Amino acid sequence: MTGLKWTKKTTQKIADELNSIGIHVSPKTVARLLKQMRFSLRVNQKKLESGNKNPPDPRIRDQQFQYIRQLRDRYALEGNPTISVDTKKKELIGNFKNPGRTWEQVATEVKDHDFRSDADGIAVPYGIYDTERNAGAVFLGTTSDTPAFAVDCIEKWWALYGCKQYPQARQLLILADSGGSNSPRSRVWKYGLHQKLCKEHDLTVTVCHYPPGASKWNPIEHRLFSEISKNWSGKPLDTFETALKYIRTTRSSAGLNVKARLITKRYTKGEKVANPEMKQLPLRQHPSLPDWNYTLAPPKM
């Protein structure tokens, strides 16, 4: 025993090496013995959050999942909206290969390399998924994925769709990941929500973040983004209008309906909010896991 924990060798090569030292065995027997020892061909699994040296305790993760479930049930019972938000993977706009296959008589020819310099632009899709209505809205940015961009997308969703679908609602629940443009550590994100939603639309906004490494449980991932990926699978996103068309025509067997708009405003990274402005922010952290759960209130009249 050498302590070997993994190998890329085929069962035939393993059998050949064993036979060379006098252990006569067939490749099928090698495969059976490996299976008995719980060895199998495995691939890397993306389960560790980048930069997170101290992942949360599983019990804390479960506590947050239960808390989100309770809030979602309460908001649904009261007739207030719950939205799940996130930024989908950025897409190069141009005649580039898009993974997937389609039924065609002739294959579509695309560029042999996906160089950013050959692209006509880059699409930054920020999605908002209404969990109760099974409806999505995607705002296609053309510059950077920043907290200001995320806040603008949510504000546009409310102004265009949310306020009409929930005319009596004065509270909004937002479900988000723990990283990216809607990170709980971002001052610009929290300050922007207050300025654009609480102040301008008189909304009380509650935000719940999924624990680090748990983004796949965010409803938008499997209810909206996965359906969009399937809809444009195998087709080049040669223009922004093509990308918008595929988003708008995304449907699911559960009755999903999706809106899409292009956002050409330029966003720059590195925006900051000063300490005095943050201290005046009417932000109330919840008793349960306060770093992930908080409420922003509108200004008092």
SS (H, E, C) 116-132: HHHCCEEEEEEEEEECC
Q: What is the pLDDT of residue 57?
A: 81
What does the mean pLDDT of the chain come to?
Answer: 92
| Residue 288 dihedral angles phi and psi, to the nearest 5° | -85, 115
Pairing of strands 171-176, 121-130: unpaired
Q: What is the pLDDT of residue 301?
A: 57
Q: Is the pLDDT of residue 142 over 60?
A: yes
Residue found by looking up tokens 């988003």 in the block: 247
Q: Is the pLDDT of residue 107 over 80?
A: yes
DSSP letter for each residue of 3-72: --------HHHHHHHHHHTT----HHHHHHHHHHTT---------SPTT-SSPPPHHHHHHHHHHHHHHH
Triad 63, 65, 70: Cα angle to 5°: 95
Q: What is the pLDDT of residue 47?
A: 60
Overall pTM > 0.75: yes
Least confident segment among 7-11, 111-115, 143-147: 7-11
| Tens-digit pLDDT profile for residues 32-84 | 998 998 888 887 776 655 555 566 788 999 999 999 999 999 999 999 999 99
| Residue 219 dihedral angles phi and psi, to the nearest 5° | -50, -35
Bridge partners (DSSP) listed for residue 84: 129, 175
Cα–Cα distance list, 214 to 67, 113, 123, 147, 172 (Å): 15, 33, 25, 20, 22
Residue found by looking up tokens 């299976």 in the block: 35
| Tens-digit pLDDT profile for residues 190-232 | 999 999 999 999 999 999 999 998 989 999 999 999 999 999 9
Least confident segment among 2-6, 81-85, 93-97, 222-226: 2-6
Residue found by looking up tokens 């080049």 in the block: 236
Residue found by looking up tokens 């995304």 in the block: 250
Query: For the chain, which domains are there?
Result: 9-41 (no CATH), 58-101+114-296 (3.30.420.10)
Q: What is the pLDDT of residue 48?
A: 59
Are 190 and 225 in contact by the 8 Å Cβ rule? The answer is: no
Q: Is the pLDDT of residue 252 over 80?
A: yes
Token duo for residue 225 = 């983004």
Residue found by looking up tokens 């649904």 in the block: 76
| Tens-digit pLDDT profile for residues 164-191 | 999 999 999 999 999 999 999 999 999 9
- Measured distance CA(101)–CA(37) in Å, rounded: 38
